[in-house]
Each structure stands twice: as C-alpha cells, then as structure tokens.
Chains A and B, each alone.
Chain A
Amino acid sequence: MEPFTTLTSRTVVLAGANIDTDQIIPARFLTTTTRSGLGEHLFADWRYGPDGTPRSDFALNGPAAQGCRILVAGRNFGCGSSREHAPWALADYGFRAVISTELADIFRSNCLKNALLPVMVDEPTSAWLIAHPGAEVTIDLIAGTLTLPTGLAVTFPLEAFARHCLLQGVDELTFLLERRSQIEAYERRS
C-alpha cells in the first residue's frame, strides 16, 4: 500500500446526504474479477446520461473538478452495500481522501484498506467546504489536521492503528499473519 503523509489538493463537492455505494459504483460493474479500471464507471449513473455522454450538471464533469484528489461529501457517505469496488473506483479515479461529517462503517473500513483517507469533520467545517467547492486544502496525516485556505486547521480523528498503517504503507494482512501463534493458541483453547 502506498504510504499517505500529506496531501494538498482542490476539492470536488457532492453535498447530498446518504450517497450510497450503489451510486458510487452501480452493481452492473461488479462482474469484474480485478480491482483496476473502475474509475471510468465511478458515479456512472450521475456522471453520464442514458446515451453515455457526460452530464454537464454533475460536479465531477466540471472543468474545475479535473485533477481534484479530495472529495467532500454529505453526511453518511458510502452507506449501503459492502462492495469494496466503491473505494476501488474512487481511488482508481484519482481520489486520495474523502471528507464528510459521517461515513458508513463498512465503507470507511474499506477505504482504510486502500489508502483512501476517511476524514471526519464537524458540521461547521463541512458546511464551509460544501459552500466552497474547489477550495485548496491540505491534509497532514502526521499532525492529524485538515487546513483550509482560510488558515484554519482542524484536527480529525483517526485511530492509532489505522494512522500507523497509512503512514507506513503497511497492510493489515501482514499484521494478522504475524499473529499466527496467538491465533493457533486461540484455536487450541476454544
């Protein structure tokens, strides 16, 4: 996994609450057997019209959204299906962080496995970001801060273990495989 330390990028905003993983990546794209290439189908039904042409009214299709690596989303982003194809599609498209007041549990867990940083912020910070699409912000994972162009730096919570894995680029599987003797001991006693 690619380590995550700091990231400076403009933001793209999807302000609606409860954006589910079926919107992030519709089920018809889940028949793939690899992780790659899902970025072109990200938000497919919002991004493209029925004839496949990009919809000019969708945030990701605006000229200002090109190259943005941070997605600002409404409350409870990523709810619904456990499909890891959702963070795969976001990461493949180029996003490295998702900012919201609240992220769905399974989606958040899946993001952490894919170096896609979940950033939980308070309501005023979220409201500011939603009102200022395209704002250039800096995420510093070492300091645990998100800095707005106003100079305001807000801290965001992230459990120590997830932070360690992201900063070092280590994966959980390696950690679990190193626990083999404990797992064997558990299997003997249960």
Chain B
Amino acid sequence: MARGPQTLFDKVWRRHEVSPESADSPAVLYIDLHLVHEVTSPQAFAVLRERGLRVRRPERTLATMDHSTPTLTAQVFGGAPIALDSAARQVRELEANCAEFGVELLGLTHSQRGIVHIIGPELGLTQPGKTIVCGDSHTSTHGAVGALAFGIGTTEVGHVLATQCLLQRKPRTLAVNVSGGLGAGVTAKDLILTIIGRLGVSGGTGHVIEYRGDTIRALDMDERMTVCNMSIEAGARAGMIAPDETTYRYLAGRPRSPRGEAWEQALDAWRGLPTDAGARFDREVDLEAAAVEPMITYGTNPGMVIPIGAAIPQRPGDAAFAQALAYMGLTAGQPIRDQPVNVVFLGSCTNARLSDLRSAAQVLRGRRIAPGLRMLVVPGSQQVKREAEAEGLDRVFLEAGAEWRESGCSMCLGMNGDLVGRGEYSVSTSNRNFEGRQGSGARTLLASPVTAAACAVRGRVTDPRELL
C-alpha cells in the first residue's frame, strides 16, 4: 500500500499495530519492552494471580527497584534494615513477584540497578523504533533514541504483563523545531524548561512531541534524554528524537545492544525511521536556541519558569497563581536571583547521568557549598556511580561538603525518606516542583545541574555563568 511521507512517530506506531484503531475500538498496540518497578507493579501482579494468568513475554520484561529504595550505602549493601517498613515490604514484594512470574530483576544490590529510565538506555535495551512502556510518566525519556515510549497506569501494567499489548487511541503529533546554538552555561534542561514555559503544562496533551532541528541534532544522548524526559511536564505522554549517528555511537557495544550481523541489520532498519521530508505534523512550534537562558522555576508546576535573571511575573486576579506564590513564599515582581536556598538536590531521571554530574562538578571543584546548606548527590544508576568514582567526581562532591549516595529516585519525590523540610527551599535538578513533591511543605525550584551547583556554592539562587 502506497503511503505519503510519514513522521517518525507514524512509522513506529504503524509497525506495532496488532490491529488498527476503528470507530468502535482503540488500536491494539504491541509493546517491545516493558520496564517494571516496585511502586506501580504490585497490584498488577496481584491481578495476574487472581485471574490465573502468566507473564506472556518475560524476555520482553525487565524489573528494577528505584522509587522507594534507600540511598544510604549501609541500607543498600551493609545489611542495615531499610528505614521505612512499607518501602521494605514493597522491595520484598517485587522480589517475590519476579521470582514467581519469571521476570528478570535487577535487584537492590545488583551492579546494573538504577533509575529505570537511566538503566534502559545504559544497558542498550532502549533502542530506536521500539515501543517501550513503564508504570511511570517519565518513560518519555526513552524517546531520545527514537523509540515510542510512554508512561502507563498499573491496570495497563497488568495488560502488558498478561498480553504484551495495550489498547491505545492514536495521539496527534507536535513538532518542536529548535534552531541555533545554545549559549555558554545554557543546558538541555534550560531548553526543555523554556519549551514547557512556551507550551504550558497542558500544551502537549493528546500529542506525541518530536524534537527537531539543528539544536537537537547537536545534543548528545544524555542531553536528548533530559529533553524527552520532561515531555510529560508539557502534558505529552511521549517525546521523540530521530535516531542518527550520535544515537548509534551511543548504543554500539552496550551490554544488550545487538551485536555483529544483528547490529548491521538493526542499523539498516533504524536508518529508515527518521521523519520523511514533507511529512505533516498536526502542530508545529518553532524556537530559537540563542534566546534560551539558564532557567529556574518559581511556582508549583514546571510551566511557572523564568530566566534566572528575570523577576517573578505579576498576574493580578489569578487566584491559582497567587496560591502558588503563597505556597512558595515568594512575591510577584521580585527577582528570583539571590533567593536563599536550604537544600540542593542533584539527581533524578532528568539529570543524574554522568555528564550531569561532570557539569556540576566543574562548578564545585575547589569550592565549598555554603554553610548550613545541604547538598545531596544521587547518581542515576550504579554504573553512573562507578564511572563518576573512577574519574574522582565523588571526591569533588564530598570535598565540597555534599553527600554522595547510592542510586535511586531519592529526593525527586521523597518516597524513600530523602526529604526536604517544611518551608525549606530546594534547588533541584529533577522534573517536578509540585506542592509537597520533595516533602510536605517543601518548596522546589527546578534548574540545571550547573545552576544547582552554583546555587549550592552561594547558598542563594545564582546564575551559573558567574561561576563557570
């Protein structure tokens, strides 16, 4: 059947239709890779057990634990009990479920454990053209290699475990075209925060975003993952970037990448994935990279974001805006710069890859964090931790006065007891500044790793370009 020019998304979607969408029913979409973690899977395994079902394709399923796991070495490796009983129960339940249903588990002490969205690409399991799901909204991260990857709820986790398929309505497409070079001290995090500020937190609802343009092409894989990771903060379930030589160089030789002849065949297939010339998107948005500044959030959703040198906007008569500022203890019209900071968190699936740690270390090397400030550095995976230690980054953080932990989601959502105190200001490299996200009453300002490091040194919101 002859088809017109197609987008990357169209190609991946069509190749995974077990049956297409019709007026009466959604598409049945085949899932190539299902990533499972301890928080959103217990109730799904319970349904399998109740209905006498098995995991249909265990070899397409990989489990790890990251959300509620401790980051203190003594609790991960030293045999000390996990501080939270309910978290310990969840960890044990995932171990039992994986054993019962024959699912591979990278468990608490496994050398390849880490945040699920960091280890997928790191292992080479995340590949162009695949459909990838996980019971976590930041599954959009994996779209950085040209996969169609999105978060699902626990009921759908059960559907994929039992059938390797999902019922889905086909989303619309949104192209975000970015051109030009990013300035010094301006990172992929600042770019995606700018995009979210432009689209708004629901601007991508119902869409899959494809990030395009020479700015995107120039990003390395870690940076592309940061961009795709936060697609959901604009309301889009998935973000994608077409695979190219940068992608193939990244994937070559990874533990679970194809090898030998299979690699050559995979490359041939992957090279056909990028959006065809002339393909139409349902919507397009253009952005100049040169206009992007180091960004920081001031409110209670990621769309409430400004350049670090700007003042907090004024929106008289907007009750929700006023409520957000009241929660944050900030005032409309005030500059965000020099706002005192209590905690700095360097971590999460957004910004805890090796290059993120390197860029923060570049600011911290030979400096100390401000007196009274707490800085927590949580590598995204055990592999990132080992690589960082091999080049001495752990020493840089420790000598600066920061804490150096085992990998996990940690203070991004505070499930494991790594919390920001009530009323405290946290500059965080994570993805959500929702009320209470890092602890009840905690006030989160999202920023890049270099900005976070600069804020740690000064103890105040600081433009990283002053310290680079």
Contact = CB atoms under 8 A, between A and B. Distances in A.
Interface of A: 15-18, 20, 22-23, 26-28, 30-35, 45, 50, 74-76, 79-84, 87, 102, 104-106, 109-110, 113-114, 159-161, 164, 171-173, 175-177, 179-180, 182-183, 186-187, 190
B436 A23 contact: yes
Contacts of B158: 173
A34 B43 contact: yes
Interface string B7-46: 0000000010011000111101010000000011011001
A17 B320 contact: yes
Contacts of B90: 31, 33
A75 B159 CA distance: 29
Interface of B: 15, 18-19, 23-26, 28, 30, 39-40, 42-43, 46-47, 51, 53, 67-68, 84, 86-87, 89-90, 93, 135-137, 151-156, 158-159, 162-165, 167, 169, 171, 201-202, 205-206, 232-233, 235, 237, 301, 303, 319-320, 323, 413-415, 422, 432, 434-437, 440-441
A18 B320 contact: yes
B99 to A, nearest CB: 16
Contacts of B42: 33-34
A159 B26 contact: yes
B145 to A, nearest CB: 19
B442 to A, nearest CB: 10
Contact of B205 (A28, A50, A105, A190): A105
Contacts of A179: 18-19, 28, 163, 165
A187 B165 CA distance: 11
B164 to A, nearest CB: 7
Contacts of A32: 86
11 contacts: A16-B319, A22-B413, A31-B68, A31-B90, A80-B232, A82-B137, A82-B153, A83-B40, A172-B155, A172-B167, A173-B158
Nearest to B234: A79
A100 to B, nearest CB: 11
A35 to B, nearest CB: 5
Contacts of A45: 435-436, 440-441
Contacts, number: 174
Given A106-B152, A183-B30, A183-B164, A79 B159 contact: no
Nearest to A111: B153
A173 B47 contact: yes
**A28, A114, A180 — most chain B CB neighbours (10 Å):** A28
B201 A79 contact: yes
Contacts of A33: 42-43, 46, 89-90, 93
Nearest to A81: B137
Contacts of B415: 27-28, 30-31
A68 B151 CA distance: 31
A102 B205 contact: yes
Contact of A109 (B23, B24, B84, B153): B153
Contacts of B156: 109, 113
B163 A79 contact: no
A47 to B, nearest CB: 12
